[in-house]
Amino acid sequence: MPDIGKERHPAFVVDQMLGELARWLRLLGHDTYYSKELNDDELIEYSKEENRVLVTCDQRLYSRAMRKGVRALLLRPDSLVNRLAVLARTYGIELRVKPEDSRCPLCNGEIREVSDLVKLDGRVPSKVLSTNRKFWVCNSCNHVYWVGGHWRNIAKTVDEVKRSLTP
Ligand SMILES: [Zn+2]
């Protein structure tokens, strides 16, 4: 198989059916466009203009993208873990979630650490504020993140993907 673009840090366009996968790619730090507003032609055009990899589970969209010279990846019906494994294998995606390198799963914005925790007063529950020292905020939508209980699930999924990649 030819080396299809194992560039260091590819950006993606993810089709409408793959919202969960889009959030994961953002969490793993990849610039990932996901929106229900563009139709198939526009998705292809946008992928081409921005040199993004179009990730889809739609055979027709995939074929059309390939005909237009857009890099595309067709995903089979499969679990999230297996799909992430395919992406990791194909594009050398690093399977490590570091909040400071993540993108906002909600809007794809860049995330920065909050230096002045006073600014978070009233924006996160006071219990969370008193038990966490590090917080991050999205530059675009202002959503606040911290390493809470859900983090265990994120780490568990990442571990499962890694295991499925080990022969
Ligand atoms: Zn955001």
pTM: 0.91
CA angle 29, 35, 41 (to 5 degrees): 115
Residue 59's Cβ-count burial label (10 Å; 0-12, 13-18, 19+) is: exposed
**How far, in Å, is the centroid of ligand 1 from the Cα of 27?**
11
**How far, in Å, is the centroid of ligand 1 from the Cα of 163?**
30
- Domains (range + CATH), the chain: 12-91 (3.40.50), 99-165 (no CATH)
The tens digit of pLDDT for each residue in 27-66 reads 999 999 999 999 999 999 999 999 999 999 999 999 999 9
**How far, in Å, is the centroid of ligand 1 from the Cα of 146?**
14
Residue 103's Cβ-count burial label (10 Å; 0-12, 13-18, 19+) is: buried
pLDDT score of 65: 98
Ranges of the chain with pLDDT below 50: 1-6
pLDDT score of 3: 45
Rounded percentage of the chain residues whose pLDDT exceeds 90: 84
Q: Which candidate, 28, 2, 1, 19, places its Cα nearest to that of 11?
A: 28
pLDDT score of 167: 79
